Amino acid sequence: MALQDVLIDELRDMYSAENQLVKALPKLAKGAKDATLKTLFKDHLEETKGQVLRLREVFEHLGKKPTGQHCNGMEGVIEEGAEALEKDEEGASFDAGLVGAALRTEHYEIAGYTACISMAETLGLDGVVELLQANLEEEEAAAEKITAAAEPILEAAKEEPEDEDDSPKTGKEKYSDKKSKEDERKAAADVKKKKR
């Protein structure tokens, strides 16, 4: 498989990721209790629609269609965000969970665009690099704005009472708890071998 084929696969992944975010960001915006955070999610939704259009331009440059690959990674990251939206936390603690989820989506995209840009640069695809760079810069700026908006939210969440009982309650939480123990058990022997 040539580098251009790898790049096209990765770009299709990004295209799917951005389209998934067009559907997920309104839910985060609706769920956010903090006004600044709400506005940031709404603004980034508009940017994300523009990023989808920019990716279409990238595919026009390459003479390929943008569909063909579903991004499982973003689906998982969005699923984590959906879990944060289901939490029955108070105002600031609830928003703190959304901040974590939103930053995960941004950094997933930053990683994706960084990889695609390196490949496009290697292939000398200047027009593609320029378009991808514009998307990357928006993701980086969004992550920075979310991090800044999070500061007062985290301060407020610090003052909220701790949940006494953190045992899993719903079926989903119980399943997640069981899987996390499995993760630990499977890695345990290898972790033990690590010299300290």
- Rule CB under 5 A: which of 96-155 touch Fe ion? 109
> How many residues lie near Fe ion (CB under 5 A)?
3
Torsion, Cα 97 80 26 152, to 10 degrees, reads 10
Nearer to Fe ion, 80 or 173 (CB): 80
Closest distance to Fe ion from the beta carbon of 139 (Å): 5
Tokens of 99: 């901040």
Q: Which is nearer to Fe ion, 87 or 104 (CB)?
A: 104
Q: How far is the CB of 85 from Fe ion (least distance, A)?
A: 19
Q: What distances in angstroms separate CA 70 from CA 17, 23, 73, 108, 113, one per listed residue?
A: 8, 14, 9, 15, 16
DSSP codes joined into one string, 70-115? --HHHHHHHHHHHHHHH----HHHHHHHHHHHHHHHHHHHHHHHHH
**Smallest separation, CB 167 to Fe ion (Å):** 36
Q: Which amino acid is at 120?
A: A
CA 103 to chain centre: 6
Terminal Cα distance for the chain, rounded = 41
Q: Smallest distance from the beta carbon of 54 to Fe ion, in angstroms?
A: 10
In the complex with Fe ion, the residue whose CB is nearer, 7 or 157, is 7
Contact map string, positions 11 to 50, toward Fe ion, x by CB under 5 A? -------------------------------------x--
Single out the residue of 38, 51, 77, 108 in contact with Fe ion (rule: CB under 5 A): 51
Q: At its nearest, how many Å lie between Fe ion and the CB of residue 62?
A: 19
Of residues 55 and 150, the one with the C-beta less far from Fe ion:
55
Nearer to Fe ion, 46 or 183 (CB): 46
Give the other-Cβ count within 10 Å of 180's Cβ: 11
**Residue 92: phi, psi to the nearest 5?**
-70, -35
Instruction: Enumerate binding residues for Fe ion (CB under 5 A).
Output: 48, 51, 109
